Amino acid sequence: MLKQFADHEAALAACARGDAAALRALYDAESGNMLGLALRLVRRRDVAQDVVQDAFVMIWRNANRFDPARGQARAWMFAILRYRALNALRKSSREVELDEGAAEALPDDAPDALEAVGRMQESAALRRCLEGLDEPRRKPVMLAFLDGLTHGEIAERLKSPLGTIKSRIRLALRDLQECLQS
Amino acid sequence: MIPTDLKDNPPERRALIGEYVLGLLDESDEAAIRQLIDTDAAAERDYLFWHQHFLALADTVPAQQPYEGLWARIEQETGLAARKAELSLSLFDQIWGVLGRWRGAAAGAALGAVAMALLALFTPVFDRAPPTGGYVAVLQQPGESAAPGWVVRIAADGRLSLSPLVETAVPADRSVQFWTLVDPAQGPRSLGLIQPGQSVELPADRIGPVIPGQLFELTLEPPGGSPGSRPTGPVLFIGRAVQVASN
């Protein structure tokens, strides 16, 4: 999957040494996944492609700052992607009220955020821990992660007061970290 | 608002960083958490902890095919496209540009040891004429910013020495091979494998006559070197020969 590189860590280390083939290997392995997630978040294909481009440029430039003692390489890459995608999303929603024409309809097979838990790998710790949350705590987390919704948008979607949503998310994150660490 | 004792309160810190990962903090809290992640190792671990676990959710989103030109745009912006073109373009002007900058830097106080060594090496090129004392090639990392790594010196009698200026990190299972290119039509010629960090001397008959602008490069190759007569791996360092005055 990563050509001559054993894993994401090895490819990222090679990027840090200036090996262009390593960046290409990471691109081949992850650009499709990243574009899928970026499109899901920003809802416009042109913006999503820009986000993926920016993410790979940042991955290349910052590869030497990745420290495997602090986390996994794939998580690090997706952290960069998410950071860029959320920036683009907030920027576009500040600039224009989301133009219905420009916003691409989500692909037909886009999973509903609230149903996505069922599509997660059985073995994933996050799946087990999300299933352990009651629905009022789980739903806001899913909408924030997969659709990039703000507190206000989540409150509107779930027809709950803003303060309630804020405290539910905070409690959900406390429960989740406890569960994920156990 | 972000509590000030965040560093001493891991569960609170981790929960706030979780909110940051979800993109739920307001702008000022977001900036404060970003700074904490950038400066505190424990905070960065929390940040990657969340991202690691959320990958399982990210992976439920169907992948999308990027359009074909996306990689080319990335190559362009990272400078990798320029690097690819480098073998066919003259590096000569670029090297002279770099040397000019180093000379400028000499006026200032902050002059690195490497630049100092090179300045000493090159002063005769600039200050004396005509050049008759052999050649020098500064091998730089390809890419956007010039990063000198090795120096090739060819004495007036044709002997060549290759000396490292920096540590070259090489994976244990790879070799570094030294090449020269006189005529692109004939292709590069191997000058053998080298050990990172160690100087090499080669006899004149191994090098042959050197011409101004002749290309030298180090590439990363499989153990024992390229299986063929051409480099197969990425260029680590590259540069062209310039004439040096006799001392």
Q: Is residue B187 situated within a structural domain?
A: yes
The pLDDT value given to residue B117: 52
* Alpha carbon distances (Å) from B232 to A60, B82, B173, B227: 21, 18, 15, 8
The pLDDT value given to residue B1: 66
The answer to whether residues B17 and B105 belong to one domain is no
Distance from B144 to chain A by nearest Cα, in Å?
A: 11
SS3 at position A164: helix
Interatomic CA distance for residues A63 and A68, integer angstroms: 11
Q: Could you write out the DSSP letters of every residue in B2-18?
A: --TTGGG-HHHHHHHHH
The answer to whether residues B37 and B132 belong to one domain is no
Establish if A150 touches chain B: CB-CB under 8 angstroms.
yes
The answer to whether residues B120 and B21 belong to one domain is no
Q: Is residue B77 situated within a structural domain?
A: no
Residue A33: its H or E element = helix A20-42
Could you tell me which CATH number the domain at A8-95 has? 1.10.1740.10
* Number of domains comprising chain B: 2
B95 pLDDT more than 50 = no
Interatomic CA distance for residues B244 and A83, integer angstroms: 51
Confidence of residue B246 (pLDDT cuts 50, 70, 90): low
Query: Which chain B residues are closer than 8 Å to A141 by Cβ?
Result: 22
Interatomic CA distance for residues B247 and B122, integer angstroms: 11
Distance from A119 to chain B by nearest Cα, in Å?
A: 6
- Judge: A37–B41 Cβ closer than 8 Å, yes or no: no
The answer to whether residues B43 and B135 belong to one domain is no
Could you tell me which CATH number the domain at A113-181 has? 1.10.10.10
Can you give the residue ranges of every domain in chain A?
A: 8-95, 113-181
Residues 203-232 of B with CB under 8 A from A: 220
Confidence of residue B172 (pLDDT cuts 50, 70, 90): confident
The pLDDT value given to residue A162: 96
Interatomic CA distance for residues A22 and A8, integer angstroms: 9
* Number of helices (H), then strands (E), in chain B: 8, 8
pLDDT tens string B176-193: 999 998 777 777 889 999
The answer to whether residues B106 and B44 belong to one domain is no
Q: Is residue B141 situated within a structural domain?
A: yes
The pLDDT value given to residue B52: 97
Domain range for B232: 91-243
The 10 Å CB-count burial string (b at 16+, else e) for B87-125 is beeebeeebeebbeebeeeeeeeeeeeebeebbeebebb
Mark out the alpha helices in A43-72 (DSSP H runs).
45-62
Whether the complex's predicted ipTM is more than 0.90 is answered with yes
Q: Model's pTM, two decimal places? A: 0.62
The answer to whether residues A72 and A51 touch, using CB atoms and an 8 Å cutoff, is: no
The answer to whether residues B49 and A71 touch, using CB atoms and an 8 Å cutoff, is: yes
Q: Going residue by residue through chain A (182 aa), what tens digit of pLDDT does each one get?
A: 788 899 999 999 999 998 999 999 999 999 999 999 999 999 999 999 999 999 999 999 999 999 999 999 999 999 999 999 999 998 887 665 545 555 555 554 455 777 889 889 989 999 999 999 999 999 999 999 999 999 999 999 999 999 999 999 999 999 999 999 98
Query: Which chain A residues are closer than 8 Å to B62 by Cβ?
Result: 36, 107, 109-111
The answer to whether residues B14 and B115 belong to one domain is no
pLDDT tens string B2-24: 777 777 888 899 999 999 999 99
In degrees and rounded to multiples of 5, residue B120 shows phi and psi of -60, -40
Interatomic CA distance for residues B188 and B118, integer angstroms: 26
Interatomic CA distance for residues B119 and A94, integer angstroms: 52
Q: Alpha carbon B38 to chain centroid distance? A: 24
| Closest by CA position to A62, among listed B78, B140, B73 | B78
The pLDDT value given to residue B197: 84
Lowest-confidence region among A89-98, A145-154, B41-50, B111-120: B111-120
The answer to whether residues B106 and B188 belong to one domain is yes
Q: Average pLDDT in the B63-78 region?
A: 93
* Token pair 């042109």: residue: A46
- Judge: A176–B18 Cβ closer than 8 Å, yes or no: yes
SS3 at position A95: helix
Residue A165: its H or E element = helix A162-181
The answer to whether residues B99 and B176 belong to one domain is yes
Q: Is residue B110 situated within a structural domain?
A: yes
Q: What is the mean pLDDT of chain B?
A: 79
The answer to whether residues B203 and B158 belong to one domain is yes
Q: Which of B25, B30, B74 to mutate to test the interface with A (most CBs of A within 10 A)?
A: B74
Interatomic CA distance for residues A147 and B23, integer angstroms: 11
